[in-house]
Amino acid sequence: MQLFDDIPETALRWHREGKGAVLATVVQTWGSAPRRVGSQLAISGAAEIQGSVSGGCVEGAVIVEALEALEEGKARELEFGVSDEDAFAVGLACGGTIRVLVEPVGDVLPEDLLAELVAARAARQPVAYVVDLDREARTLHRDGFETRFRMDRSGFEEDSRTFVAIHNPPLRMIVVGAVHIAQALVPMARIAGYDPVVIDPRETFGSAARFPGERVVNDWPDEAVAAEGLDTRTALVLLTHDPKLDDPALELALRSDCFYIGALGSTRTHAKRAERLGQAGFSADDIARVHGPVGLDIGAAGPSEIAVSILAEVTRVLRHGA
């Protein structure tokens, strides 16, 4: 399942096809605005659109402004009040106000900068697109803005006219062990916005019948995890509590930048796991990255509640740090 939008990619393609392209981005909201800050709409010179900045209530006006901006070759800052009636039509209880930045590709947003952004997104590299509206300067940053990256939070820097648009890769969850907990966790993770994969060399456990519609890999966990890759937007959940299966994947994870590592097992099982990792040369700080027993302590009983506790802990680490 592809969870990534393709709005910058579409704008770049339209520009390179000679149609002309504009990116419209929600840069600020007040009240009950229909879309979050950072939401984008791509508009071609032929008035084709991809994405949304308001759920439908101001798109028409944005398209008109975007086509005029494309002809002028200049950026525009737009502000719209979303009426209570329009807000209700797109599923909100009350109206709000949104500010939209309109940037023609080429004249305002350089093609090479947009191409670099698109390449970073394709490589699953978190990147921040930073616009100084007063100086009309546009840059890309892979470092800094740690809180914004973790929170997926675009917005203006405090007391400034510098807007930061966060482009994070889609979230992934790699689940090792096709057990009952995994059967509950995988659909929950997908609903929460993760692209999950289940790894288990035991085909009886890791079967399409047990995980309908999901991607299941029947390889040894260390090989499969290495092939999948572990990055800052990946959570690894180990559910077999079998050292032969878990430990090799766990060692790979501790050498990676994945944001979450969780391993099933009792406190005693985890203590033995920590001892093995120490003997393998990992430091106390390394071992402390492993959440074990996995999941928040909510008194979970049964596979489904344990899955809830795991997803809650993954979310807490993602949004607040380890």
- Tell whether 142 and 201 lie within a shared domain: no
DSSP code string of 17-78 = TTS-EEEEEEEEEEES-SS-TT-EEEEETT--EEE-SSTTSSHHHHHHHHHHHHHHT--EEE
CATH (domain of 241): 3.40.50.720
Residue 2 included in any domain: no
**Residue-averaged pLDDT of the chain:** 91
| One domain for residues 78 and 66 | yes
- Digit-coded pLDDT (tens) for 171-183: 999 999 999 999 9
Instruction: Specify whether 285 is located in the same domain as 159.
Output: no
Q: Are residues 62 and 110 in the same domain?
A: yes
Number of domains in the chain: 2
Per the domain annotation, does 1 fall within a domain?
Answer: no
Q: Which of 167, 199, 229 is the last residue of a domain?
A: 167
Model pLDDT for residues 121-143, shown as the tens digit of each residue: 999 999 999 999 999 999 999 99
- Is residue 139 domain-shared with residue 210, that is, in the same domain? no
In the beta sheet, which residues pair with residue 164?
130, 155
Q: Based on the fold, state whether residues 14 and 151 are members of the same structural domain.
A: yes
Please check whether residues 155 and 209 belong to one and the same domain: no
pLDDT mean over 25-41: 85
Q: What is the pTM (predicted TM-score) of this model?
A: 0.81
Do residues 205 and 235 share a domain?
yes
For 81-129, the DSSP string reads EE-HHHHHHTT-SS-EEEEEEEEEBTTTB-HHHHHHHHHHHHTT--EEE
225 & 291 share domain: yes
Tell me: do 141 and 197 sit in the same domain. no
Range of the structural domain that residue 47 is part of: 7-167
Confidence of residue 1 (pLDDT cuts 50, 70, 90): very low
